[in-house]
Amino acid sequence: MRINPIAQELNAIIKNGNPHLMEMFSKTGRRLYFPKGILTQSAEARQKAYDKFNATIGIATEGLHTMCLPSVMSYINEIRPSDSLTYAPSFGIFALREMWKESMYEKNPSLKGKSVSLPVVTNGITHGVSVFADMFVDPDDVLIFPDKMWGNNYLILSVRGDAEIRNYPLFAEGGGFNLDGFEAVVRQEAENNYKVVVFLNFPNNPTGYTVTDEEGKRIAEILTKVAEEGTNIIAVTDDAYFGLRYEDEPMKESLFSRLCDCHPRLLAVKLDGATKELFVWGLRVGFVTYGTVIEGDHAIFYDALERKTAGNIRGSVSNASHLGQSLVFKALKSPNIQKEREEKIDILRKRALRVKEVLANPKYNDVWEIYPFNSGYFMCLKLKTADAEELRSYLLDKYKVGLISIGKTDLRVAFSSVDEENIEALFESIYKGAKELEA
């Protein structure tokens, strides 16, 4: 299939900066570009045309202002129609992208001195995974996940993307991240494939585990070594629950910080967003950011990569919500937001510690084991006697307790949505249900 000249130009820029990246793109990724069509012409018109004669963009205006309905605007305070009702750029609002990048460096101090792209706004992190898949995943490509993974990844990457997912046990015997199992599956797939994609989701959904600094260091060393040996590695950090850590042991920073400048054959992709970090789930504001080793002008290279990403978004959802982005932007500028966020994290921390306190009761030991957890929204029980789905249904019917079953043995508990005073009663109900089924 013929590649558009704009895509060819972007590909040449990327190839000059890092030729290995061209081997990592999917067929779609190599063809992607940001069109110089209506959006470009509209941008030129905003600069040069008189407002009263600007007949380019497909919105309605009235008296040179964005046309709107008072019954809609009455529910939107302090955000004018042009910042809430109109289309946002496919790249995302530029000021928001800059602010998110600045905050990324603040939250990850070891990024200092390292060059990464300007984040591109996605319609939440779920959409970010889909955008990544379009750009970098072909049918039958190998994607490596732990056995404890977010179920929607199957739907996006395997069902829709037709990729092959390989799993390794998340936890080693005795607890902690399974470094040996991780390295074994990465090396096994590297022997048979020119490209391997690794997803790193910490805090993990569904277990609520975040790796330690030492485990994070070893993960980076393993992936860098495999890249040095000649296999292209794409390391995707799914940082949906970033910052929600409740103990001193877990890594404070994203693994993206360790991976973004390791080797030319290693591309780090950061998926994050305001969704959980700012407790704004329904606003659907996520980001995708890239980092790798580049020769020459970093700005030109990343601009080309951002244009391909924006072209992908333009060709699917057009753009993420302007209102959602404006709300996040204004919130990030608030002098109180960090204090407010820490107050909410402290509530979640107290719930997590209460869960650990309750589950320390030895009477539970004959019914379940506890997977390690130290962060995020969730924890998981490994049932010893009951079938997970059978117990889930039984608890829902008899005790009106809602949980998520995963496979034959695992139950996911979202302590994020259970008040601290109800945690003991929750687990007591689970225990009673398991015992009743056992009897």
Q: Note every long-range contact of 3-6, with CB atoms under 8 Å and residues 24 or more positions apart, other chains counting.
A: 3/30, 3/31, 4/31, 4/33, 6/33, 6/34, 6/35, 6/36
Question: Region 77-91: what's the mean pLDDT?
Answer: 93
Q: Are residues 424 and 408 in the same domain?
A: yes
- Can you tell me the distance from the alpha carbon of 174 to that of 179, in angstroms, rounded to the nearest whole number? 13
- Which of the 8 DSSP states describes residue 305? H
Tens digit of each residue's pLDDT (9 = 90 or more) over 93-107: 999 999 999 999 999
Question: Region 347-351: what's the mean pLDDT?
Answer: 98
To the nearest whole number, what is the mean pLDDT of the chain? 95
1 or 405: which leads in pLDDT: 405
| 288 close to 136: Cβ distance less than 8 angstroms | no
> What per-residue confidence (pLDDT) applies to 59?
84
Is 343 part of a structural domain of the chain? yes
DSSP readout, 19-50?
Answer: THHHHHS-HHHHH----SSHHHHHHHHHHHS-
> What per-residue confidence (pLDDT) applies to 359?
98
Q: Note every long-range contact of 180-186, with CB atoms under 8 Å and residues 24 or more positions apart, other chains counting.
A: 182/146, 182/219, 182/222, 183/222, 185/144, 186/144, 186/222, 186/223, 186/226
Question: Region 196-211: what's the mean pLDDT?
Answer: 98
Give 217-258 as a 3 state SS string. Answer: HHHHHHHHHHHHCCCEEEEEEECCCCCCECCCCECCCCCHHH
Share of the chain above pLDDT 70, in %: 95
- Can you tell me the distance from the alpha carbon of 360 to that of 355, in angstroms, rounded to the nearest whole number? 9
Q: Which of 333, 349, 375 is the last residue of a domain?
A: 333
Question: Region 80-102: what's the mean pLDDT?
Answer: 96
Q: Is the pLDDT of residue 245 over 90?
A: yes
Structure tokens at 384: 């010893």
Q: Is the pLDDT of residue 277 over 70?
A: yes
- Can you tell me the distance from the alpha carbon of 322 to that of 185, in angstroms, rounded to the nearest whole number? 42
Element (H, E) at 410: strand 410-414
Q: Which of 333, 356, 378 is the last residue of a domain?
A: 333
Tens digit of each residue's pLDDT (9 = 90 or more) over 144-199: 999 999 999 999 999 999 999 999 999 999 889 999 999 999 999 999 999 999 99
Structure tokens at 186: 């990465």
Q: Are residues 325 and 343 in the same domain?
A: no
- CATH code of the domain covering residue 426: 3.90.1150.10
- CATH code of the domain covering residue 123: 3.40.640.10
Q: Are residues 375 and 301 in the same domain?
A: no
| 327 close to 280: Cβ distance less than 8 angstroms | yes
Q: Which of 286, 304, 333 is the last residue of a domain?
A: 333
Is 65 part of a structural domain of the chain? no
Is 296 part of a structural domain of the chain? yes
State the sign of the Cα–Cα–Cα–Cα dihedral 178, 179, 180, 182: positive
> 419 is in which domain, residue-wise?
338-438
Nearest to 223 by CA among 275, 177, 266: 266
* 238 bridge partner residues: 201, 271
Structure tokens at 68: 């709107």
Q: Are residues 327 and 235 in the same domain?
A: yes
Whole-prediction pTM: 0.95
Structure tokens at 83: 């910042």
Is 64 part of a structural domain of the chain? no
Least-confidence region, from 19-28, 51-60, 174-183, 320-329: 51-60
Q: Are residues 238 and 160 in the same domain?
A: yes
Is 238 part of a structural domain of the chain? yes
> What per-residue confidence (pLDDT) applies to 384?
96
Q: Are residues 206 and 258 in the same domain?
A: yes
- Can you tell me the distance from the alpha carbon of 86 to that of 213, in angstroms, rounded to the nearest whole number? 44
CA angle 378, 348, 273 (to 5 degrees): 70
> What per-residue confidence (pLDDT) applies to 227?
98
For residue 203, cis peptide bond before it (omega within 30 degrees of 0): yes
Confidence of residue 41 (pLDDT cuts 50, 70, 90): low
Angle 213-228/179-192 helices, nearest 10 degrees?
20
- Can you tell me the distance from the alpha carbon of 241 to that of 208, in angstroms, rounded to the nearest whole number? 9
Residue type, 137: V
- What number of H helices and E strands is found in the chain? 17, 13
Is 404 part of a structural domain of the chain? yes
- Can you tell me the distance from the alpha carbon of 394 to that of 371, in angstroms, rounded to the nearest whole number? 22
Angle 423-438/337-359 helices, nearest 10 degrees?
40
Is 59 part of a structural domain of the chain? no
For 22, list phi and psi in degrees, rounded to 5. -65, -30
Tens digit of each residue's pLDDT (9 = 90 or more) over 388-401: 999 999 999 999 99
Q: Are residues 354 and 254 in the same domain?
A: no
State the sign of the Cα–Cα–Cα–Cα dihedral 146, 129, 92, 119: positive
Looking up tokens 């020459």 gives 296
Say how many domains are in the chain.
Answer: 2
Q: Are residues 223 and 142 in the same domain?
A: yes
Q: Are residues 287 and 156 in the same domain?
A: yes
Q: Note every long-range contact of 432-435, with CB atoms under 8 Å and residues 24 or more positions apart, other chains counting.
A: 432/399, 433/386, 433/391, 433/394, 433/395, 433/398, 433/399, 433/401, 434/367, 434/368, 434/383, 434/385, 434/386, 434/391, 435/367
Is 168 part of a structural domain of the chain? yes
What stretches of 287-422 show up as alpha helix (H) in DSSP? Answer: 298-314, 322-333, 337-359, 388-398
Looking up tokens 């049932």 gives 383
Q: Is the pLDDT of residue 40 over 70?
A: no
Q: Is the pLDDT of residue 50 over 60?
A: no
Q: Are residues 275 and 373 in the same domain?
A: no
Q: Are residues 121 and 214 in the same domain?
A: yes
Confidence of residue 49 (pLDDT cuts 50, 70, 90): low
Q: Are residues 231 and 266 in the same domain?
A: yes
